[in-house]
A and B are shown apart, each in its own frame.
Chain A
Amino acid sequence: MKRLWSWAALVIGALYFLLPLIGTIEFSLRMRRGAYSLDAYRSVLADPAFRATFGYSVMMALLTIVLGVVLVVPTAYWVRLRLPRLRPVIEFVTLLPLVIPAIVVVFGYIRLYNTSSILPLTGTAGGTNILLLCGYATLALPYMYRAVDTGLSTMDVRSLTEAAQSLGAGWVRIIGRLILPNVLGAVMSGAFLSFAIVIGEFTMAALLNRPAFGPYMQLLGANRAYEPAALAVIAFAVTWGCMGVMQLISRLAGVRKTAT
């Protein structure tokens, strides 16, 4: 009886998640009247705007990951090593992006960095890109920080640091050669979440008027019927592909560790 219920829960859950997905896929294949075809996909992939925006967002996502790692790993490390009493404060700060809507952040940016401010970042495309990158890094902060902090908790940060110091190592080497490799798995999962967030992000990119994938999806959704569905499926595939690659990388790292 108990078993029956758990199976029922599983089936309902699967239907809840899979039905919309199947519906979307099915719909995306019906562009040609009366027959299933990949026309919608062809149309999307042939659109230069798709390639441009998708490429832009992937680039931004990768840069966000780099910025996130550079920002978060040393911070989390330093807090664990020297400022353990500040940990709750830092944790609270990193959670703020979940509480403060992106739209508030972006309006704040626009007010602070508009063309008549001291630092007129919104005046140029490059400056706006930097602003968007910072915004993305902020959005990814809660996930990145948590992942890295959890990774750090599995090792004796203080002893490892002191051992490295007594062997003559400086901070850059300690963080780059010892801390980062040991939290790589955690960094990977943080990176994956950052990637997923940035690829689909709409608010910031739209309000800063950058040619990102999110606004493109929105634009297409408002003007076409079948292409948005195809786009959604593509986005899904990309996300899952990323997940697979991350898994593969961490698996390979694990194999290298055990094969001796």
Chain B
Amino acid sequence: MSFLTLDHLQKSFGDTKVVHDFDMRVEKGEFISFLGPSGCGKTTVLRMVAGFETPSAGRILIDGQDVTGLRPNQRQIGMVFQAYALFPNLTVADNVGFGLKVAGVPRAERGPRVAEMLDLIGLPQMGGRYPWQLSGGQQQRVALARALAPRPRVLLLDEPLSALDAKIRVSLRNQIREIQQQLGITTIFVTHDQEEALSISDRIVVMHRGVADQTGTPREIYNHPTTDFVANFVGTLNRFPAEVLDAATGRLRVGGTEIELGRPVGPGPLVLAARPEGLVLAETGIPAEVTGVEFLGSVQRLRARAAGQSIVMDRFNAPTAALPAPGETVHLCPLRSHWMVLAQPEAEIV
């Protein structure tokens, strides 16, 4: 029995169907990310779990209890918002203690719990401050502590890192994950940032046009995307139109070069795709003309044109290896295990 069940949720605003048929089971203590572009319905699903939106159809169950008809303040859910939403008239300690006060926890018990929460987020000295005296990152940590203080059954994070600058975003995301694992709290995290989703989640739901396109671990999502949208949205993808020579053995022709995948493929034409790290330079292979080289420290990024496509190739920095110069022709050799076979999208068939 799963802990949080989203049972065939649907949501329409007027004539616009925002969420089509969203079905998901979340285990206790799991960290789930909803990943997708803006307008894909991920926030709407989250808001339905929180109770701010009522599903047009479907049910939401927490720990076996149907909460679909409950008001937001009856659901025992902790939520963190993109805009922090700390109460400006209350101190940090009063903000964190707010949910406990509402729940009728006596003052004597509130104090220690608030102190415990402030310790957890690493701001033990800040209890007497007001929200406007804190930095954005500190405010968001207080918002997290406030959401966790009343021991909610589910924690919802609505793009909590989007308003922060890059460095704080990374450190806070690690802190969120640490706290989540320490408390073992079931968490849903909404983001449009794939790196965030990949680094932090137990499982990711990639959403597209109100539908869950694929659900899986970060590795599955990145390495084995099942739909074209997921393949494109998560990570960078190089795409090569391919002609099928022998479907049974997976012999294909790509840009004048024959490639054997060693596994059967569907009837062509297909698109062969690889991540930037799935390509290597070799003596023979798909010819490509280098258009640019970026040195990013640990990684070198090569931009090239091959088989009529712009492609990106990453390789680890090697102090002795020479970098190809723009204009030079190189050969790209596929790493067999890295290739993905995608059905060619209709729009691209000329």
Instruction: Find out whether the CB atom of A164 lies under 8 angstroms from the CB atom of B98.
Output: yes
Partner of A165, one of B73, B89, B91, B156: B73
Chain B contacts of A155 at CB under 8 A?
A: 88
Chain A contacts of B102 at CB under 8 A?
A: 167-169, 173
Partner of A166, one of B72, B83, B86, B88: B72
A167 touching B88 in the complex, CB below 8 Å, given contacts A162-B72, A162-B79, A173-B102: no
Chain A contacts of B51 at CB under 8 A?
A: 165-166
Instruction: Tell me, yes or no, whether A223 is within 8 Å of chain B by CB.
Output: no
Residues of A within 8 A of B (CB): 155-156, 159-160, 162-170, 173, 178, 181-182, 257, 260
Instruction: Find out whether the CB atom of B103 lies under 8 angstroms from the CB atom of A168.
Output: yes
Instruction: Tell me the smallest distance from the CB of A148 to a CB of chain B, in Å.
Output: 15
Bound-complex Cα distance A173 to B52 (A):
18
Instruction: Tell me the smallest distance from the CB of A83 to a CB of chain B, in Å.
Output: 16
Interface string of B128-164 (1 = CB under 8 A from A): 1110010000000001001100100000100000000
Instruction: Tell me, yes or no, whether B76 is within 8 Å of chain A by CB.
Output: yes
Instruction: Tell me the smallest distance from the CB of B53 to a CB of chain A, in Å.
Output: 11
Bound-complex Cα distance A173 to B99 (A):
12
Instruction: Tell me the smallest distance from the CB of A88 to a CB of chain B, in Å.
Output: 21
Bound-complex Cα distance A170 to B87 (A):
15
Instruction: Tell me, yes or no, whether B325 is within 8 Å of chain A by CB.
Output: no
Interface string of B99-133 (1 = CB under 8 A from A): 10011000000000000000000000000111001
Instruction: Find out whether the CB atom of B72 lies under 8 angstroms from the CB atom of A159.
Output: no
Bound-complex Cα distance A168 to B88 (A):
18
Instruction: Tell me the smallest distance from the CB of B51 to a CB of chain A, in Å.
Output: 8
Q: What are 22 contact pairs spanning A and B, CB under 8 A?
A: A159-B81, A159-B84, A162-B50, A162-B72, A163-B87, A163-B146, A164-B98, A165-B51, A165-B71, A165-B73, A166-B50, A166-B73, A166-B78, A167-B146, A169-B102, A178-B87, A178-B89, A182-B87, A182-B88, A182-B89, A260-B128, A260-B129
Closest partner residue, chain A, to B72 (CB atom): A165
Partner of B87, one of A162, A164, A165, A168: A164
Partner of B83, one of A156, A167, A168, A182: A156
Closest partner residue, chain A, to B88 (CB atom): A182
Chain B contacts of A181 at CB under 8 A?
A: 89
Instruction: Find out whether the CB atom of A167 lies under 8 angstroms from the CB atom of B98.
Output: yes
Partner of B147, one of A156, A159, A166, A260: A166
Chain A contacts of B52 at CB under 8 A?
A: 162, 165
Instruction: Tell me, yes or no, whether B85 is within 8 Å of chain A by CB.
Output: yes
Closest 9 CB pairs of A and B: A167-B99, A159-B85, A165-B72, A163-B85, A166-B79, A181-B89, A168-B102, A168-B73, A165-B73
Bound-complex Cα distance A170 to B89 (A):
18
Instruction: Tell me, yes or no, whether B197 is within 8 Å of chain A by CB.
Output: no
Bound-complex Cα distance A230 to B71 (A):
60
A168 touching B99 in the complex, CB below 8 Å, given contacts A162-B85, A163-B85, A182-B88: yes
Partner of A170, one of B73, B75, B133, B146: B73
Chain B contacts of A162 at CB under 8 A?
A: 50, 52, 72, 79, 81, 85
Chain B contacts of A160 at CB under 8 A?
A: 85, 87
Chain A contacts of B84 at CB under 8 A?
A: 159
Chain A contacts of B75 at CB under 8 A?
A: 166
Closest partner residue, chain B, to A166 (CB atom): B79
Bound-complex Cα distance A260 to B133 (A):
10
